[in-house]
Amino acid sequence: MIRQCEPSESEILYEIVNDAAQAYQGVIPIDCWNEPYMPKEELLHEISQGVRFWGLEEDGQLLGIMGIQDVNDVTLIRHAYVRTERRNSGIGGKLISHLKTLTNKPLLIGTWAAADWAIRFYEKHGFKVVSIEEKNNLLRKYWNISERQVETSVVLAEA
């Protein structure tokens, strides 16, 4: 079942994000890695800024989450994570398919350039990496991230 996550579930969201984000350790630039990857305060800030998390639940357990956030004239897919032990089982695909139905605005996704598995996943689901110039403009316009993260990220848009 796919359902919207409640703010009161921040502890389980935190657990899923930081479990799944272990895949980035040693892949993304070391100066971009944090332990934990996303502190609780950052997660709560993202929620307060309008990121709405949706989750896929089976047998009462949340297995994967994906956020969606309207920013001006676009919708961003944010913080897509699936529990390590359930990766590659279709959870992410079900979540992104659901989130695509929630907006009529253009969809954008930002991810680490070194996370080739994430880029392949988004491409498989109808997104295309934009040019470096467009990426830089989009990241600065719609995201609130450091210049270092702008340098080391890609943006994908619906093809």
Q: pTM of the predicted model, to two decimals?
A: 0.95
Domains identified in the chain, total number: 1
What average pLDDT does range 113-136 have in this prediction? 98
Look at phi and psi of residue 59 and say left if phi exceeds 0, alpha if psi is from -120 to 50, else beta: left
* Whole-number pLDDT of residue 114: 97
Give me the percent of the chain exceeding a pLDDT of 90: 99
How do strand 74-82 and strand 107-112 relate by DSSP bridges? parallel
70-117 residue pLDDT tens = 999 999 999 999 999 999 999 999 999 999 999 999 999 999 999 999
Band the pLDDT of 147: cuts 50, 70, 90. Answer: very high
> Mean of the pLDDT values across residues 22-26?
96
Structural domain containing residue 123: 2-158
Which single residue is written with the structure tokens 């800030």? 45
pLDDT at 13 over 90: yes
CA-to-CA distance for 154 and 29, rounded, in angstroms?
14
CATH code at position 54: 3.40.630.30
